[in-house]
């Protein structure tokens, strides 16, 4: 599909927002605590005890794990990454990952029911366990009507994959679902650790095709430069790399291409700042890209081989989001969940072609206080130009939706009162609704309110 056929109408809104975000960037010492913005004011206790929001905001639970879907299967659990894609006629598709490993059959689309397992076995699926049962990981798709605030239909859209964590929307209106697992034989029938493309309009599982050119590793998230079709990919490991995929045919990731890893011209090899402040907050470093071979990585050593060649190491690369800066330059932001001296998290910024045609990298923010920003995971850009980040600290009892202004100031949008993570934050193309997941038990929420009234 040509890149000029952009059914993802939120792209223009996202580019505008990223331009606002890039208007000013704070340069500071990595150990300096980020300032605080006013945001929307204090959070108010939710009478239902789930999600605390500022005054004027409300949420609705629009989908829950275990519900019966339109296709007869049940909504799988472990709601993770999610993308919003306009379908036309005012309706939206939410394509949602389910981070389920091979053993979690009772949490999958069959709910452990034998009859549904047998029905599932007749549909296209990527892989099965040693007993012939379809693996429970995959995606579901919801059609949402903003005018009524209700889900019109939902169905299974990708089946037989493993530990589908995050991903990203494409400029041509599909979802990239990423496996955060390299499980393989003999536990299951095939190697895993791939990216799969899911059409937003497909109302049943299509034949899953592993996009092997994008590499085999513990994928987290993906984003695509709409100008070039180049895909950028994060990896959720403590010694992860940032990858890019140069497609032979832009807009067709299955046609093959070249996989590379990010390195720095100055030779810096470690961005984590665990031992010392190797990467200074606000400073820019010129990027080079290293070609990788053996990207099918049967030994799960792609990141290790890349690091040996000089690739920069990141601390658990997770959410990633693409847009344009104030000058129309493409750039992206991504979270490093355990980066920084306190291991509370970092946000990195990559500008494409900004330094005499070369890319450049900046440590945009490093958290010094887990009470203000802790373990940032999925990331998106709000219509008002601020980053919105889902926290993911297991066992914390509460996690938050945090926001970061262009000047690097932090504020809080919401507090989830449950011992689970927030995930999959994304906005409707018109910017009136934020969708977000509570991971487990899985719930998808639609949040509305005076989004554009934010104060900095």
pLDDT value for 118: 97
Q: By percentage, how much of the chain surpasses pLDDT 70?
A: 93
- Does the pLDDT value for residue 223 go beyond 50? yes
The helix or strand, by DSSP H or E, that contains position 303, with its residue range, turns out to be: helix 302-308
- Does the pLDDT value for residue 5 go beyond 50? no
The CA-to-CA distance between both ends of the chain, in Å, stands at 41
Using CA atoms, how far apart are residues 125 and 71, in angstroms rounded to an integer?
16
pLDDT 10s digits, 325-371: 777 788 999 999 999 999 999 999 999 998 778 999 999 999 999 99
**122: buried, middle or exposed (CB in 10 Å: 19+, 13-18, 0-12)?**
exposed
Q: By percentage, how much of the chain surpasses pLDDT 90?
A: 85
The contacts of residue 169 (CB under 8 Å, 6+ apart) are 8, 10, 83, 84, 85, 95, 175, 176, 426
User: What are the residues facing 109 on neighbouring strands?
Assistant: none
Question: Residue 117 has what DSSP assignment?
Answer: H
- Decide the pairing of beta strands 284-291 and 317-324: unpaired
What average pLDDT is seen over the chain? 92
| C-alpha 314, offset from chain centre | 16
pLDDT value for 231: 98
pLDDT 10s digits, 393-402: 987 789 999 9
pLDDT value for 11: 43
Length of the chain as a residue count: 456
Q: Please, what are the domains in the chain? A: 10-453 (2.120.10.30)
pLDDT value for 113: 96
pLDDT 10s digits, 366-385: 999 999 999 999 999 998 88
pLDDT value for 21: 52
Using CA atoms, how far apart are residues 82 and 88, in angstroms rounded to an integer?
19
Question: Residue 236 has what DSSP assignment?
Answer: -
Question: pTM (2 decimals)?
Answer: 0.94
pLDDT 10s digits, 71-82: 999 999 999 999
pLDDT value for 380: 96
pLDDT value for 203: 85
pLDDT value for 327: 78
């Amino acid at each position: 599909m040509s890149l000029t056929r952009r059914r993802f109408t939120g792209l223009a809104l996202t580019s505008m927002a990223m331009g606002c975000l890039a208007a000013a960037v704070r340069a500071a010492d990595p150990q300096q605590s980020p300032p605080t913005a006013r945001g929307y004011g204090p959070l108010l206790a939710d009478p239902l005890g789930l999600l605390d929001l500022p005054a004027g905001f409300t949420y609705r639970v629009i989908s829950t794990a275990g519900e019966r879907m339109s296709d007869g299967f049940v909504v799988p659990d472990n709601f993770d990454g999610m993308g919003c894609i306009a379908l036309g006629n005012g309706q939206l598709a939410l394509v949602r990952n389910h981070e389920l490993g091979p053993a979690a059959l009772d949490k999958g689309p069959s709910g452990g029911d034998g009859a549904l397992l047998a029905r599932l076995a007749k549909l296209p699926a990527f892989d099965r366990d040693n007993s012939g049962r379809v693996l429970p990981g995959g995606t579901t798709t919801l059609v949402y009507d903003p005018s009524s605030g209700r889900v019109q239909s939902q169905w299974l859209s990708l089946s037989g994959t493993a530990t589908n964590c995050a991903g990203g929307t494409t400029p041509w209106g599909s979802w990239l679902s990423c496996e955060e697992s390299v499980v393989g034989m003999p536990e299951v029938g095939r190697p895993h650790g791939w990216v799969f493309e899911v059409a937003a309009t497909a109302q049943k599982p299509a034949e899953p095709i592993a996009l092997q050119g994008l590499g085999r590793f513990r994928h987290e998230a993906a984003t695509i430069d709409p100008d070039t079709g180049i895909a950028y990919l994060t990896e959720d490991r403590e010694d992860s790399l940032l990858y890019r995929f140069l497609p032979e045919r832009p807009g067709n990731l299955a046609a093959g291409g070249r996989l590379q890893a990010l390195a720095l011209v100055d030779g810096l090899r470690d961005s984590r700042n665990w031992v010392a402040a190797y990467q200074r907050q606000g400073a820019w470093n010129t990027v080079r890209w290293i070609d990788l071979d053996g990207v099918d990585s049967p030994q799960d050593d792609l990141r290790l081989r890349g690091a040996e060649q000089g690739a920069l190491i990141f601390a658990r690369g997770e959410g990633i989001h693409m847009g344009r800066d104030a000058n129309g330059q493409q750039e992206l932001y991504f979270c490093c969940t355990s980066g920084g001296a306190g291991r509370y998290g970092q946000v990195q910024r990559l500008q494409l072609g900004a330094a005499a045609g070369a890319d450049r990298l900046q440590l945009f923010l490093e958290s010094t206080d887990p009470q203000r920003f802790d373990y940032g995971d999925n990331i998106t850009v709000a219509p008002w130009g601020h980053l919105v980040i889902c926290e993911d600290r297991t066992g914390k009892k509460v996690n938050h939706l945090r926001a970061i202004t262009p000047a690097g100031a932090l504020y809080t949008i919401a507090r989830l009162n449950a011992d689970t993570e927030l995930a999959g934050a994304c906005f409707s193309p018109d910017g009136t609704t934020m969708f977000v997941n509570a991971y487990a038990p899985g719930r998808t929420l639609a949040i509305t309110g005076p989004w554009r009234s934010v104060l900095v």
